[in-house]
Chains A and B, each alone.
Chain A
Amino acid sequence: MVKEMLTGNYAAAWGARLSEVDYVPAFPITPQTEIIETLSQWINDGEMNAKFTNMDSEHSMITAAGTAAATGARVFSATSSQGLLYGYEMLYNVTGWRVPLVLVNVSRGLSAPITLEPDHNDILSTRDSGFIQIHAETCQEVLDTILMAYRIAEDERVLLPVLINMDGFYLSFTREPVEIPCKDAVSRFLPEYNPKHAFFKASKPMSQGVAVLGGSAYSYFKYQMHLASLNVLTVHDEVAGEFKRIFGRSYSATEAFKIDDAEYVIIMSNSFTIKGKAAVNKFREKGLKAGLLRLRLIRPFPSTELKAFLRGKKAVAVIDQNISPGSGGILFKDVTTALYHDPDRPERILSFIGGLGGKDIGHAEFKHIVEEMEKSIETGIVPETQLLYTKNDLEHINNLLNIAGNPLEGLEN
């Protein structure tokens, strides 16, 4: 075991290396590229015994990843944003094949307009594909989650692929100390992949991914994917327990921060959570009982755990770093659905959109969120979904509009 300064991308590459993956099909896209560059170099230098192949698109890359996994190999790859969407068709195929590969997505806002910094519309667009989804907050968590992901994915009760999400720039290019577990410990934790259900070999011919016509057969196989995904709620906790025993670090489906006596709870995901934790600390200094929940396991959605954490709270605010135009925040719906039937559910659940395209969420925004929660308790009125957007932001965009040659300027005269 060593501790080193690693970017999120480098930590991801270490995760794949320690998992002794057999195969990495790759296609570059910012801000993910460092992952595949690193793996390419390690494989080329003989430090990793794996096959690396440069593919011609994410669609091809995910296809190759899926068929290699269907052949019996342990497969890793990474993508981001437009790339994830370009390969979208194949995500549904890979889950339907029930093959346990691990794919890292480095979140980045979606085009158009094209941008570089993160939000989660890319990863959340795949939430119905059947992929298990785990969203990481730190570089260490990225590495650890990859090791855990193979254990979960390859479990006979699951056999679904995993998408691990990290924020572009905030994690991908940010270095922080990361503990790199030693190889022996990892091999104790993660045994070799030995598929019983999907492989290709001369002695045992098999047809995989065949067409299924007729609703009763189709429903059966689709629903099996749902049941497999639900099994992750149990398997994740078992694997996390084992992980803690060997490596000492502990992960749960949802991370609770100062939640026990909290009256006001903010729900967030990914790296921006740290900003929320800072805000909670500040509120507590001022005597406000604030807390935070970080959604880590997004699929399957840990409804029961969430309910238990939020039972009896005064108000909850969900910050969605994504937007479903015409509807609002995506995770807000999952949270409210989970809570609806709980007799002890929080009195108010509020919805906020923030951090789109990597826009900062500052203390003014968090203050506003808490004030809105308090106001809602007082008045009994729950506001519509709000965008976290400040005066400074507005001034900034106005400047830009003018430089772009605002065609409306002067029209009023």
Chain B
Amino acid sequence: MIKRVRFHGRGGQGMKTASRIVGTASFLEEFFVQDCPLYGAERRGAPMVAFTRLSKEPIFERGIITSPDINMIADETLLGDKSANVFQGTWEGTITIVNTHYPASHVRNVYGVVGEIVTLDITEIALNVIGESVLSSTAAAVVCKLTGMITESSLEKAVIKELSSINLKKELIEKNLQAALTCFDRIPETHPHYFEPIKEDKMDEIVKLEYADPRIGTPSVYAKGNTRLKKTGNWRLFRPVIDHEKCSRCRTCFVYCPHSCISIDEGDYPQIDYENCKGCLTCFYECPKKVISKDHEVRAW
């Protein structure tokens, strides 16, 4: 039996480490195992994925998991993000676990999830126990439990090993461990209805590439400033909000925005482009009048 785990998070949330903790825990259980992160061009805050495969038999797969058995969505803002495509390849046998305080039924109603769905407010546990919203050990613990194949003791050893290897301080590892075990306990015993995927094979077809006009066949971009289309607003954890009533129109926020996301309107007031603002909060800290506030980003619903 093979379990394919896909982790969805944002750069910096710890999903690569989570995939490695699950990998090491499986290794300690003497399973066949692979783990790997997928690096794109995007950086801290951008949607990212990581993968772990564990199996009692040799694994004849490698690379991206297009159809996960366990789908960890560690950041609920990714649910509505088309570019993150978190439900890609989920099927009746997939268990999707979402880090949210909403109940599973709510997620299913809004997103029409296929397969099993479990929710747990992992962030809350991390904040309470560790003191910051780092989700590596907690997300890993949830996944370990859901596999039904990994013991608490292997999880424990794996957390210590992986967090030590990224030079985490001892007391922080302790706290992570505690948070991880809390999560492990909060997930009910393994779900009984695991079954091997019986998926319809939708075979792709081979096509013949033809010679293209060199204006198309060369990797050149003719569009001006189309990075706007990427809408990097989904990287944001906090939303800066300008109190225009109190704003002195000094333009400090506009001048210091690294991402060209603040413009000056006709009334000489700064306006934030929320579609693209990554939420670095430079404006919040630099505003000399302190009339910019930061709000926890509106959730996915």
Contacts and interface: CB of A to CB of B under 8 A. Distances in A.
Interface string B198-211: 00000000000111
A220 B220 contact: no
A220 B221 contact: no
Of B210, B213, B215, B219, chain A has the most CB atoms within 10 Å of the CB of: B219
Contact of B217 (A209, A212, A213, A228): A228
B218 interface: yes
Nearest to B220: A208
Q: Which 5 residue pairs spanning A and B have beta carbons closest together?
A: A224-B217, A197-B214, A227-B211, A207-B221, A98-B218
Contacts of A212: 219
Contacts of A156: 213-214
B41 A210 contact: no
B192 interface: no
A220 B211 contact: no
A228 to B, nearest CB: 7
Of B211, B214, B220, chain A has the most CB atoms within 10 Å of the CB of: B214
A120 B50 CA distance: 46
B223 to A, nearest CB: 9
Contact of B221 (A96, A159, A210, A223): A210
A352 interface: no
Contacts of A207: 220-222
A43 B13 CA distance: 60
25 contacts: A96-B219, A98-B217, A156-B213, A157-B211, A159-B214, A159-B218, A197-B218, A198-B214, A198-B218, A207-B221, A207-B222, A209-B219, A209-B220, A210-B219, A210-B220, A210-B221, A211-B41, A212-B219, A213-B40, A221-B219, A224-B209, A224-B211, A224-B218, A227-B209, A231-B211
Given A98-B218, A221-B219, A227 B210 contact: yes
Contacts of A220: 209
Contacts of B224: 205
A224 B212 contact: yes
A196 interface: yes
A169 interface: no
A96 B219 CA distance: 8
Given A156-B214, A196-B214, A197-B214, A223 B41 contact: no
A156 B41 CA distance: 32
Contacts of A208: 218, 220
Contacts of A210: 219-221
A109 B41 CA distance: 41
B211 A213 contact: no
Contacts of B211: 157, 224, 227-228, 231
B220 to A, nearest CB: 5
Interface in B28-54: 40-41
Contacts of A97: 218
A223 B41 CA distance: 23
Interface residues on B, range: 10 to 19
A98 B214 contact: yes
Interface of B: 40-41, 209-215, 217-222, 224
A265 B218 CA distance: 41
A244 B210 CA distance: 31
A213 B38 CA distance: 12
A211 B39 CA distance: 14
Interface of A: 96-98, 156-157, 159, 196-198, 205-213, 217, 220-221, 223-224, 227-228, 231
A210 B222 CA distance: 11
A248 B215 CA distance: 35
A196 B222 CA distance: 12
Given A157-B211, A224-B218, 12 more contacts: A156-B214, A159-B214, A197-B215, A197-B220, A198-B220, A208-B220, A209-B220, A212-B219, A213-B40, A217-B219, A228-B211, A228-B214
A98 B217 CA distance: 9
B5 to A, nearest CB: 23
Contacts of A211: 41
Nearest to B217: A224
A97 B218 CA distance: 7
A157 B217 CA distance: 11
B220 A221 contact: no
A220 B212 CA distance: 10
Of B210, B215, B220, chain A has the most CB atoms within 10 Å of the CB of: B220
Contacts of B209: 220, 223-224, 227
A207 to B, nearest CB: 4
Contacts of B222: 206-207
Nearest to B210: A227
Nearest to B209: A223
B24 to A, nearest CB: 29
Given A196-B214, A223-B209, A227-B210, A206 B219 contact: no
Nearest to A97: B218
B217 A206 contact: no
A217 B211 CA distance: 15
Of A97, A197, A209, A210, chain B has the most CB atoms within 10 Å of the CB of: A197
A207 B223 CA distance: 9
B299 to A, nearest CB: 30
Nearest to B223: A207
A68 B165 CA distance: 48
A342 B20 CA distance: 53
Contact of A196 (B210, B215, B219, B221): B215
A319 to B, nearest CB: 34
A77 to B, nearest CB: 22
B287 to A, nearest CB: 34
A206 B214 contact: no
